[in-house]
Amino acid sequence: MPLVSTSSIVDAAREAQIGAAAFNVIHLETAEALVTAAERTDTPLILQLSENCIRYHGSLLPITRATLALAETSTAPIAVHLDHITDATLVRQGVAAGVGSVMVDASALPYTENVAATAELTAWCHEREVYVEAELGEVGGKDGVHAPGVRTDPDEALAFVRSTGVDALAVAVGSSHAMHRRTAVLDKDLIAALRATLPVPLVLHGSSGVPDDELRRAIAAGMTKINISTHLVSVFTHSIRETLTANPALVDSRKYVKPAREAVAEEAARLLGVLTTPAPVPDQLAAQAPARG
């Protein structure tokens, strides 16, 4: 199946009131696992390449071209997106390589500078029909700048969207990057207020720390694009630890990476089901409750 656009996945999910899954690539093995999950479930998926991932691989082109090749040859609808890009040069390199969407991350800058930098890159991307996500203020845990208690103000967010022209906005509603336990509780009232105020889809970063039911409730409240990375990285690492503990003499890395790749594919497929299954409405919840008396 040809590469699809991030906008087509996000817009369809928003219309259906389900989640648009966006899972991060760390290396080729995770990219393969994520594509396998999308194919097994026949679910659209956005593969994300972060600035950290690009720097780990030494440059943008090798991992980006490999990820694009996997997407282009997949039987599932796959988009490729650059995530948390602070370097404008990487944005331009990614677009030249064939990536159809980027997250322009100028959130560490003061508000006025964030607006100016984001607006400039957004205009450049739109001239090339590239979809742009941005972030207003840093989501909790990113570089330690904000505590998880930070919240996005709907009116300020609307002003930011109007001033920059971005197509989607990452908002702070109670999640935090790099959480290793799935214990976050999101502000669903704020999500609903943001959804009612903003003309663009809402993006949840730090979703690894959010339990399944809470993700469903967040989507029901108005969240659309759901970014997950740390949780799937943990699955990969845990599998390798288990395999090497059980077989300490293993030398061939394929023999411990392959089961880790499969473990990520299984968990990613499960998460795709979670994100695309609507949360029960109150009447349904009442019907599911056990009878009393």
As annotated, the active-site residues are 83
Using CA atoms, how far apart are residues 114 and 122, in angstroms rounded to an integer? 12
The CB-side HSE value for 283 (13 A sphere, CA atoms) comes to 0
Q: Are 197 and 157 in contact (CB under 8 A)?
A: yes
Distance (Å) of CA 203 to CA 32, 42, 108, 214, 227 = 24, 22, 18, 15, 7
- Residues in contact with 105: Cβ distance below 8 Å, sequence separation at least 6, in sequence order: 51, 84, 85, 86, 134, 135
- Give the separation between CA 162 and CA 82, rounded to whole angstroms: 22
Element at 292 (helix H, strand E):
none
Tokens representing 114 are 């964030």
List all residues 6 or more positions away from 140 whose beta carbon is below 8 Å from its beta carbon: 146, 147, 148, 149, 150, 172, 174, 175, 176, 177, 206
Query: Bridge partners of 112?
Result: none
- 67 with 47: CB under 8 angstroms? yes
126 touches 164 (CB < 8 A): no
Contact at 8 Å (CB) between 46 and 23?
yes
Bridge partners (DSSP) of residue 277 are none
